[in-house]
Amino acid sequence: MAIVAPTSAAAFPLAEADLCVKCGLCLPHCPTYLDARNEADSPRGRIALMQGLATGVIDQTAKLELHLDGCLSCRACEAVCPAKVPYGALIDAGRALLAERRPARVRALAPLSVLLSHRPLRRALGALLRLYQRSGMQKLLRRSGALGRGRIARLEGLLPQIAAATRVDRPTIADSANDSVQLFVGCVSDLVEAEAVDAAARLFAACGYALRSPAAQTCCGALDQHGGRPATARGLAAHNLTAFAGDAPIVAMASGCGASLLDYATMLGSAEARRFAARVRDPARLLLARAERLQLQPLRARVAIHVPCTQQNVLRDPQATRALLAHIPQIELLELESDQRCCGAAGLNFVTQPQASDRLLEPKLAAARRLQPDFIVSANIGCSLHLSAGLRRDGSTVPVLHPLTLLARQLRA
C-alpha cells in the first residue's frame, strides 16, 4: 500500500486512518499512553485527532500539535494492531499536514536537514567538535555550567567522543561476485561510531562478503519524513535509490536508518522503491548466516542488549543481535528490559522533549543498575547516545557499543 504524505488536507490518507476500529488493543503497548494515561496521547486518540484535523472538524491548536508531536514514532502500536492500521505512515502524514498549515513549525529542521545530508559539512562540524573536545573547552564549559539548562546544554550532554571520520567507501574481498553487500552508513555513524563502521568492514570481510559503501549516499531522510517535511524526505530517498543501484542486499549501520530505507516503498510508492526496500536486511541477520566463519576469542562479560524500536517493530527481527553475539564463547547475554519499550530517544525527541524522554529512559537505567552489565549494546545510534548520556548522569561508566563493535573486538587477528 503506497501512502504518500499529503501536500494538502484533501490528500491525507483518510481511508487508511478509517481502518482503525478504535478497539484499543494497541493502548497497553503505547509508551506515551502508559506515561500520560491520556487518550489523546494514545494511537487511537491521535488517529482520531488527525481524522478530525483532515476533515476540518477540529482546528490546529497548540494542544493538538503537542499530542501529535508527543508520538515517538516507535510503531509499537502498528506491530500489534489486528486491523493492520499503517500508523507510522499516518503520523508522518499528520505532521506533514500540521507543517503545511503552519510552516514555522519546521523552520528549524531545514538547516539540520541540510547539515545531515551534506558529508563535507558534517565532516567540518566533526572537526570542530573534535577540536572542542581536545582543547579542554568541553571540560571547562561542563564544569562551569555556562551552557545553562536549555537545548544547547542537552545537545552538548549527548556528545560522544568524536573520532576522525572513517572512510565509508572501502572495498573488501568477496568469495564470489554474488556476495556483494552495500552498506548504508547514515549521516552520523562515520563520525560518532567510526569503530562500528570499521567493525562492519572487518566482519563482512571475515564472512566472505564484499562490503561496499556507495560514496554518493546521503541521509535516509528519517528526520524530514517524521518531522513533517515529506517532499525533502522523498528527494533524499530518490537520491539513495540511485546511489544504491544494483541488486545486492543493503545493510544499515543504524536500525533507524534501516527502517527508513524499508519505508521507501511506502513513501515513494514506485516499483523501483519496492525493489530497493526488498533488498534491506539487518546486518546481524546477514552475518548470522555465515557466523561459523568468524574466529572469535572468548569474552567473559555480561552484555545487556537494548533492542531499538525500529529493530523490534519495523525491521521485525529483534533476535538477530542476540543470536549473532551468542557466537562469542563465554559471553553472558542479558536483556536490558524484557518489555523492549522505546527508550525515549525517538528521532529528536530526546532533545525536543527532554522530560518525557528521560521518564521513558528511567526503566532502562534502573535495569542497568540492577543487572550491572559490563557492556550495553544497541544497534541504533540515537538510542546509544540517549542511553550513554543517561548512564553518565547516573554516575555509571558502562560503555554502550554497537553490537558489531563488540563482535569485531573478539575477532582473532
Which residues of the chain form contacts with ligand SF4 (CB under 6 A)?
20-26, 29-32, 43-44, 46, 71-77, 81, 83, 85, 87
Comparing CA positions, the residue from 315, 172, 187, 184 lying closest to residue 244 is 184
CA dihedral 143, 151, 377, 131 (to 10 degrees): -50
Nearer to ligand SF4, 94 or 258 (CB): 94
In single-letter form, the type of residue at position 411 comes to L
Nearer to ligand SF4, 71 or 398 (CB): 71
CA distances from 337 to 48, 307, 308, 340 (A): 31, 9, 11, 6
Comparing CA positions, the residue from 247, 197, 205, 157 lying closest to residue 405 is 197
Question: Rounded to the nearest whole angstrom, what is the least distance from the CB of residue 337 to ligand SF4 in the complex?
Answer: 16
- Specify whether the backbone of 303 is left (phi greater than 0), alpha (psi in -120 to 50) or beta: beta
Nearer to ligand SF4, 45 or 126 (CB): 45
Nearer to ligand SF4, 25 or 351 (CB): 25
Question: Rounded to the nearest whole angstrom, what is the least distance from the CB of residue 349 to ligand SF4 in the complex?
Answer: 9
Question: Rounded to the nearest whole angstrom, what is the least distance from the CB of residue 356 to ligand SF4 in the complex?
Answer: 10
Task: For the chain, state the CA radius of gyration.
Answer: 21
Nearer to ligand SF4, 134 or 316 (CB): 316
Question: Rounded to the nearest whole angstrom, what is the least distance from the CB of residue 34 to ligand SF4 in the complex?
Answer: 9
Question: Rounded to the nearest whole angstrom, what is the least distance from the CB of residue 351 to ligand SF4 in the complex?
Answer: 17
**Residue 378: DSSP 8-state:** E
Nearer to ligand SF4, 25 or 109 (CB): 25
Question: Rounded to the nearest whole angstrom, what is the least distance from the CB of residue 184 to ligand SF4 in the complex?
Answer: 23
Question: Rounded to the nearest whole angstrom, what is the least distance from the CB of residue 193 to ligand SF4 in the complex?
Answer: 25
Question: Rounded to the nearest whole angstrom, what is the least distance from the CB of residue 82 to ligand SF4 in the complex?
Answer: 6
Instruction: Tell me how far apart the alpha carbons of residues 43 and 68 are, in angstroms, rounded to a whole number.
Output: 10
Residue 352, C-beta contacts closer than 8 angstroms, at least 6 positions apart = 69, 151
Distance from the Cα of residue 231 to its chain's centroid:
20
Residue 43, C-beta contacts closer than 8 angstroms, at least 6 positions apart = 20, 26, 27, 30, 33, 77, 81, 85, 87
Question: Rounded to the nearest whole angstrom, what is the least distance from the CB of residue 69 to ligand SF4 in the complex?
Answer: 11
All cell numbers assigned to 158 = 549527548
Nearer to ligand SF4, 25 or 112 (CB): 25
Question: Rounded to the nearest whole angstrom, what is the least distance from the CB of residue 279 to ligand SF4 in the complex?
Answer: 26
| Sequential DSSP letters for 342-358 | --S-TTTHHHHSHHHHH
Instruction: Give the H or E element holding residue 273.
Output: helix 271-278
Nearer to ligand SF4, 78 or 198 (CB): 78
Mapped onto helix, strand or coil, the DSSP state of residue 280 is strand
All cell numbers assigned to 150 = 536549555
- Specify whether the backbone of 316 is left (phi greater than 0), alpha (psi in -120 to 50) or beta: left
Nearer to ligand SF4, 31 or 373 (CB): 31
Answer for the pair 30, 81: CB distance below 8 angstroms, yes or no. no
Nearer to ligand SF4, 86 or 126 (CB): 86
All cell numbers assigned to 204 = 563482512
